[in-house]
């Protein structure tokens, strides 16, 4: 039955593509509406003196960013001759429309998990790969990836964009999967580099994939699991110190809330016990962490990292994100009868991001921050904060996902900011579930990024503030914790 349903979906997609191809051959069908100057810029509105709000610089930054994004959208429309991309975009939209959406999602997950299905439906896999291509970068998981990697790095570098490679996929369900996950990074580090690069090779990894059964590491009996994680990280750092070309930087991703304290503890333990591997010749860390702004704990976590960095003379590399498990964390907390670890409202998460960003910028001697967000309002607020604290644009790096928000990335580059993409790489099979999530995001009419890319900036108008009684109380506590760690009264 499962194979039958998947076959039906793929056959339908094939038929739809055939029809679209016939139409497109006769009449060019652009997938993007005509780009026209916005009647009213949100940034210009916020920058008006009569607003009576302390948002002038933010409003100016947002207006600059909006104008740069509009210019990139117009340029993209003129350059694209967009036949193939229009066709692919239309196919993705149709696959996520109405009753097809849940079938498409389930089909991609099933294809990702079951090799027998991929073998049975071998004729459809090129179509699936073509539709997933904008969001996944295929790299061989059992062979030398250097030539494909070099082509990707060169292509993105021509646009002024750096990359971080992430072995796409979910948690390892067996020791064999964990071993294959580690081997992928081992091959990346040991791959010959045709050209010398100025900076290190940037990698990102998940602890839940580095070992199987990560929950065991949370228990008193989990010392062996924790030791295995540290041993794997030490191995990768050791390989990178022997690398002939540029060095390697490893970012440990933050996953579900249950693993937050474990992840931060292992990061600190690795640097404390193996500084010869975790720090470079100048004392800069070669491994970094992620802080999720949607967590109520994050202000205290940053304050603790600052104190730890002072005690060990370490400048902590922090990637600031908003967080990707909001619905899951709220549902889990409710089912377990405990308070939610995440903010109740999106506006509170945005306010938390601003608060944490300013704290990171306030302490450059202890933090090496990177700002990951697709939200132009958040980007403009970070730009305003950095300008107020005397930073130059080239000192502030923004990070976004591969295949998401291309006009925004190019706009940030034109404004002088370094931009880095997180590139989900590896086998198509491991990445299909991830691709399905990206399909859903970009075809959701309520998605802020999707609306922004159509020139609708109204989705950016919400004011970042702690709202609701509990969020306001916890927001005050977060602000107090950061002020106390700074020595402010």
At 31 the pLDDT is: 46
Give the closest residue to 170 by CA, choosing from 424, 440, 399.
424
CB 404 within 8 A of CB 429: no
Q: Are 66 and 377 in contact (CB under 8 A)?
A: no
Residues contacting 22, CB < 8 A, separation 6+: none
DSSP letter at 209 equals H
Helix, strand, coil: what percent of the chain each, to 5? 60, 10, 30
Which residues, at least 6 apart from 476, have a Cβ–Cβ distance to it below 8 Å? 466
Q: What share of the chain in percent tops pLDDT 70?
A: 83
Kindly report the three-state secondary structure assignment for every residue of 24-79. HHHCCCCCCCCCCCCCCCHHHHHHCHHHCCCCHHHHHHHHHHHHHHHHHHHHHHHH
What is residue 450's predicted lDDT score, i.e. its pLDDT? Answer: 78
Instruction: Pull the structure tokens for residue 301.
Output: 């976590």
Please tell me the predicted confidence (pLDDT) of residue 465.
95
> Cα-Cα-Cα-Cα dihedral of 56, 61, 62, 63, to 10°?
90
Provide the token pair at 235. Answer: 């191995």
Run means of pLDDT, 10 residues per run, the chain, 489 residues: 57 51 46 45 48 61 93 75 70 78 80 80 80 84 78 91 93 93 91 61 96 94 95 94 73 98 98 95 94 98 98 98 94 96 97 98 97 96 95 97 94 98 89 82 76 77 92 98 82
Q: What is the pLDDT of residue 15?
A: 43
- Beta-bridge mates of residue 292: 321
Reduced to 3 states, what is the DSSP secondary structure of residue 445? coil
Give residue-wise pLDDT tens across range 428-475.
Answer: 888 888 888 888 777 777 777 877 877 777 777 788 999 999 999 999
**93-102 per-residue burial string, b: 16 or more CB within 10 A, e: under 16:** ebbbeeebbe
| Structure-block tokens of residue 246 | 């540029």
- Give CA–CA dist 276/241, Å, rounded: 10
Count of all residues that appear for the chain in the document: 489
CB 361 within 8 A of CB 389: yes
Q: Are 203 and 164 in contact (CB under 8 A)?
A: yes
Q: Which residue has tokens 């079938």?
A: 103
Tokens 């016990």 correspond to: 273
Which residue's entry shows tokens 């994939």?
209
Q: Are 399 and 419 in contact (CB under 8 A)?
A: yes
pLDDT for the residue numbered 440: 79
CATH of domain 134-430+462-486: 3.20.20.220
pLDDT tens by residue, 83-141: 667 777 777 877 777 777 777 878 888 887 787 888 877 777 888 888 888 888 988 76
Q: Which residues contact 268 (CB under 8 A, 6 or more apart)?
A: 308
Specify the pairing of strand 287-292 against strand 248-252: parallel
Q: Cα(398)–Cα(404) distance, rounded to whole angstroms? A: 13
Please state, in angstroms and rounded to a whole number, the distance separating the CA atoms of residues 296 and 476.
11
Taking only Cα atoms into account, the Rg of the chain, rounded to an integer number of angstroms, comes to 23
Write b or e for each residue in 344-366: b if 16 or more Cβ atoms lie within 10 A of its Cβ, otherwise e.
Answer: bbebbbbbbbbbbbbbbbebeeb
pLDDT single digits (tens) 174-193: 999 999 999 999 988 887 66
- pLDDT recorded at residue 387: 94
Angle between helices 346-362 and 469-486 (to 10 degrees): 0
Q: Of the candidates 136, 35, 129, which has an alpha carbon nearest to the alpha carbon of residue 82?
A: 35
Instruction: Specify the pLDDT at position 172.
Output: 92
Location of structure tokens 């944490």: 356
Residue 19: predicted pLDDT: 45
């Amino acid at each position: 039955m499962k194979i039958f349903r998947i076959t039906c979906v793929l056959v339908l997609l094939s038929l739809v593509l055939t029809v679209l191809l016939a139409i497109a051959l006769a009449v060019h069908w652009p997938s993007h509406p005509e780009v026209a100057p916005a009647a009213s810029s949100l940034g210009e509105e916020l920058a008006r003196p009569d607003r009576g709000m302390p948002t002038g610089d933010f409003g100016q930054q947002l207006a600059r960013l909006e104008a740069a994004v509009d210019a990139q959208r117009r340029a993209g429309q003129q350059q694209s001759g967009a036949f193939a991309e229009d066709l692919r975009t239309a196919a993705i939209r149709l696959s996520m429309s109405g009753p097809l959406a849940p079938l498409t999602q389930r089909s991609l997950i099933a294809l990702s998990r079951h090799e027998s299905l991929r073998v049975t439906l071998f004729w459809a896999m090129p179509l699936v790969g073509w539709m997933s291509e904008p969001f996944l970068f295929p790299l061989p998981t059992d062979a030398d990836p250097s030539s494909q990697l070099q082509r990707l790095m060169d292509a993105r570098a021509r646009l002024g964009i750096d990359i971080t490679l992430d072995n796409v996929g979910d948690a390892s369900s067996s020791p064999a999967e964990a071993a294959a996950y580690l081997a992928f990074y081992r091959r990346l580090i040991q791959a010959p580099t045709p050209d010398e690069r100025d900076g290190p090779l940037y990698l990102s990894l998940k602890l839940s994939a580095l070992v199987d059964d990560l929950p065991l590491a949370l228990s008193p009996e989990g010392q062996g699991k924790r030791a295995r994680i540290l041993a794997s990280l030490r191995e990768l750092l050791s390989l990178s110190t022997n690398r002939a070309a540029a060095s390697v930087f490893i970012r440990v991703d933050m996953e579900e809330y249950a693993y937050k304290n474990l992840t931060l503890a292992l990061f600190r333990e690795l640097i404390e016990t193996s500084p010869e591997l975790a720090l470079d010749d100048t004392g800069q860390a070669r491994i970094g962490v992620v802080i999720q702004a949607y967590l109520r704990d994050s202000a205290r976590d940053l304050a603790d990292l600052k104190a730890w960095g002072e005690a060990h003379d370490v400048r902590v590399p922090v990637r600031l994100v908003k967080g990707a498990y909001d619905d899951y964390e709220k549902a889990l907390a409710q089912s377990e009868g405990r308070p939610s670890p995440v903010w109740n409202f999106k506006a509170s998460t945005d306010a938390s991001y601003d608060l944490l960003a300013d704290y990171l910028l306030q302490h450059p001697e202890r933090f090496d921050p990177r700002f990951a967000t697709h939200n132009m309002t958040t980007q403009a607020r970070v730009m305003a904060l950095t300008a107020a604290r005397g930073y130059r644009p080239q000192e502030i790096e923004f990070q976004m996902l591969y295949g998401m928000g291309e006009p925004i990335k190019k706009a940030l580059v034109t404004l002088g900011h370094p931009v880095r993409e997180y590139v989900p790489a590896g086998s198509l099979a491991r990445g299909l579930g991830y691709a399905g999530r990206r399909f859903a995001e970009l075809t959701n009419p309520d998605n802020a990024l999707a609306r922004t890319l159509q020139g609708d900036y109204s989705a950016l108008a919400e004011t970042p503030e702690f709202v609701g009684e509990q969020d306001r109380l916890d927001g005050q506590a977060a602000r107090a914790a950061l002020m106390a760690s700074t020595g402010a009264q």
